[in-house]
Amino acid sequence: MDISKVDYWATSGTSMMHRASVASKLLATASVIASVVVSRDLAGLAALYALILITVRAAGLPVVKVVLISLFPSLFAVLFAVSYASTGWVMPAVIILKALTAASSMVLLISTTPYTEVAGSLGRILPRVVADGMFMTYRSFFIMLEMLDHFIDALRLRGGFRPGRMFANAGNMGAGIGMLFIRSYDKSQRLYDVMSVRGYSGMLAPPVRFKGFGMVDMPYLAATGSFLLMLSAAAYKGVAAGFYPVAVLAFYLVFMEAARAWKI
């Protein structure tokens, strides 16, 4: 899976989700994560996950690829879910669904919002040096990915990977990763020196200004906010959310499919 595709999706899309404000998408993502935290309702969480997938489709993103990317962090939840296997299948399913829903909402956010805008928005509430560090870490990540890809190709061409020589292959890979770490440290020092020479004074880019909410902001924000209210109320009362999440999901599906068909 080419993770750099995420950056391309965020900058090239023209859907309603891409045109929505960063603030509305951050609030909606926070609502999804809060819903995941407070709820243990399997049906409600499944409806919330379906809402994320509907939004992914409406944004014109490849649903299968987004799901595959979100599976990587969700794999860690499987180990935790196994510890609850003795209680039945419901609790492990809830744990995995919580991780999958939260990861999918984050993938949706970064797939419809350029990272520069995310970092700029967070710069309004975080120290500028932290926001700048987040931005540079994101950009450096893709540089490191390219270096790792070139290293693996070179290792294969020079016979570093051979069938049946597990320990030798592991040693070669370990030495390569160590060299990659050293080169990464050297590149970070060079980057700091270049930025200092060019006048970096603690602000890489000005923070993004809040422009208010428009019509394109409301569908996803209202839907995730409704789920947060419903699942929170159900968790507080100790009951299932019932039919209400399904009703909101059905209305949201019809609206988003219509918006997608009419290219709103």
Judge if 90 and 148 occupy the same domain.
no
- Residue 100: pLDDT over 60: yes
| Dihedral over Cα of 225, 230, 236, 240: its sign | negative
Q: In this structure, is residue 255 part of a structural domain? A: yes
Nearest C-alpha neighbor of 115 from the set 26, 54, 188: 26
- Of 148, 175, 197, the residue at which a domain comes to its end is 197
Judge if 146 and 241 occupy the same domain.
no
Judge if 111 and 10 occupy the same domain.
yes
- Residue 168: pLDDT over 80: no
Is residue 241 within 8 A of residue 44, CB to CB? The reply is: yes
Nearest C-alpha neighbor of 224 from the set 78, 1, 20: 20
Q: In this structure, is residue 241 part of a structural domain? A: yes
pLDDT digits (tens, 9 = 90+) for 191-245: 777 777 766 666 665 555 666 688 999 999 999 999 999 999 999 999 988 899 9
Nearest C-alpha neighbor of 243 from the set 230, 256, 233: 230
- Of 147, 173, 197, the residue at which a domain comes to its end is 197
Over range 59-66, report the average pLDDT.
94
Judge if 213 and 110 occupy the same domain.
yes
Q: What is the pLDDT of residue 33?
A: 96
Judge if 217 and 179 occupy the same domain.
no
Q: In this structure, is residue 64 part of a structural domain? A: yes
DSSP state of 113: S
Q: What is the pLDDT of residue 1?
A: 52
User: Which residues 6+ apart lie within 8 Å of 168 measured at CB?
Assistant: 162
Question: What is the phi-psi region of residue 90: left when phi exceeds 0, alpha when psi lies from -120 to 50, beta otherwise?
Answer: alpha
Q: What is the pLDDT of residue 229?
A: 97
Q: In this structure, is residue 87 part of a structural domain? A: yes
Q: In this structure, is residue 26 part of a structural domain? A: yes
- Residue 114: pLDDT over 90: no
Residue 217: phi, psi to the nearest 5? -80, -25
Q: What is the pLDDT of residue 96?
A: 93
Q: What is the pLDDT of residue 249?
A: 96
- Residue 93: pLDDT over 80: yes
Q: In this structure, is residue 40 part of a structural domain? A: yes
Judge if 176 and 101 occupy the same domain.
no
Judge if 134 and 115 occupy the same domain.
no
Judge if 24 and 146 occupy the same domain.
no
Judge if 189 and 232 occupy the same domain.
no
User: Which residues 6+ apart lie within 8 Å of 2 measured at CB?
Assistant: none
Q: In this structure, is residue 203 part of a structural domain? A: no
Q: What residues make up the domain containing 56?
A: 5-120+209-261
* Helix, strand, or coil (residue 184): helix
User: Which residues 6+ apart lie within 8 Å of 80 measured at CB?
Assistant: 95
| Residue keyed to tokens 């492990």 | 92
Q: What is the pLDDT of residue 157?
A: 79
Is residue 12 within 8 A of residue 113, CB to CB? The reply is: no
Q: What are the distances in angstroms from CA 51 to CA 42, 46, 201, 242?
A: 14, 9, 43, 16
Q: In this structure, is residue 72 part of a structural domain? A: yes
pLDDT band at 187 (very low <50, low <70, confident <90, very high): confident
- Of 143, 175, 197, the residue at which a domain comes to its end is 197
Judge if 104 and 222 occupy the same domain.
yes
**Torsion, CA 70, CA 46, CA 48, CA 54, rounded to 10:** 70
pLDDT digits (tens, 9 = 90+) for 5-38: 888 899 899 999 999 999 999 999 999 999 999 9
Report how many domains make up the chain.
2
Residue 119: phi, psi to the nearest 5? -65, -40
- 111 vs 145, more confident: 111
pLDDT band at 165 (very low <50, low <70, confident <90, very high): confident
Judge if 115 and 67 occupy the same domain.
yes
pLDDT digits (tens, 9 = 90+) for 118-161: 877 776 777 767 777 777 777 677 777 777 778 878 877 777 77
Judge if 87 and 107 occupy the same domain.
yes
- Residue 173: pLDDT over 80: no
